[in-house]
Structure 1
Amino acid sequence: MSQSPDLEKRSAFQTHIGFEVTGWEVDVARVEAPIAPFMSNRQGIPHGGVHATLLDSAMGFAGCYTGDPDRQQNALTLSLTVNYVGQAQGSRLIAEGRRIGGGRKTYFAEGRLTDDLGNLVATASGTFRYRS
């Protein structure tokens, strides 16, 4: 996957959470974030909402690649399903999203969240609507 983080400036939310787009091309995107103390739940592990955020973001980016910084494509999430399957052991969370189908107005995507050691943490699927 090509690394194209310069195609778009970071959103305020992206900056606040601390994730970055580390790969982005047609139908595929990867976002990564260091595991930080502020992400912890009551048990001291990354909160499931962080997992959902990274997966939602990766899948959202996956359907919106244009390759042209002057032609930004946006989408909004219509539905998001997250399956929590493991616990992160490493120091980074890595979400990869892939557009798997759709049409002119909506698309479908799947995502996988791992840590930097390769442990599977969560999977997701979503439906997204393009915004004009």
Structure 2
Amino acid sequence: MLYAPLDPALDEAPYELQKHLGFQLTHWDTDYARLELPIAPHLMNRAGIPHGGIYATLLDTVMGFAGCYTGTPEHKKLALTLSLTTNFLSRPKGKGLIAEGHRTGGGQRTFFAEGTISDETGEIIARGSGAFRYRNTTL
């Protein structure tokens, strides 16, 4: 399925962790989000491949965004992660990571999501699932 690029009106200023890691929200729509991250030296583990924590962080973030889309910058939703499962499948062959998240269900207070990390060659690197709770605070 093809998704439209991120509406510039919904683009938020990067927060500190996002700035440090270097990922960017590139698509965001109802029940869907996509992040992209160039592979860089500060992301690597001792074996010279991206640290597993990078994959877990990307999955956590992209699935959270997938469940928090409102379509308007005046009404933001935020979520807290209740559980996160990450399965490591391969290592990247390309130069960038692509994380995609889909909200799969839920209700008024909680939602469930699944995510995948691949690279630009199509290599599937990690998959994840999570449960999230909407925060009472709306920005």
Instruction: Please indicate the TM-score interval, normalised by the length of the shorter structure.
Output: over 0.9
- Segments of 5+ residues of structure 2 without an aligned counterpart are none
Q: Is the 8 A contact 1:5 1:21 kept in 2?
A: no
Q: Which residue of 1 aligns with 2:66?
A: 62
Provide TM-score, normalisation by structure 2.
0.92
Q: So what's the TM-score if we normalise by structure 1?
A: 0.97
- Amino acid paired to 2:6: S
**Aligned partner of 1:93: which letter?**
L
1:86·1:120 contact (CA, 8 Å) conserved in 2?
A: yes
SS of residue in 2 equivalent to 1:70: coil
How far apart, CA to CA, are the structure 1 residues paired with 2:38 and 2:58?
11
Structure 1 residue runs of 4 or more that deviate by more than 6 Å after TM superposition: none
1:25 aligns with 2:29: yes
The residue that corresponds to 2:115 in the other structure is 111
Structure 1 residues 43-80: Cα deviation after superposition (integer angstroms, max 9, x where no partner): 00000000111111110000000111111110010100
Q: Which residue of 2 aligns with 1:95?
A: 99
Are 1:4 and 2:6 an aligned pair?
yes
Q: How far apart are 1:14 and its partner, in Å?
A: 1.0
Amino acid at match of 2:13: K
Q: Distance in 1 between matches of 2:25 and 2:93?
A: 21
Alpha-carbon RMSD across the aligned residues, in angstroms, is: 0.9
What is the deviation of 1:5?
5.7
Q: What's 2:125 paired with?
A: 121
**What is the rounded CA distance, in whole Å, between the counterparts of 2:127 and 2:39 in structure 1?**
18
Give the direction of change, closer, same or farther, for the CA distance of 1:124–1:4 in structure 2 (3 Å limit).
same
Identity of aligned residues (%): 54
Conserved in 2, the CA contact under 8 Å of 1:19 and 1:31? yes
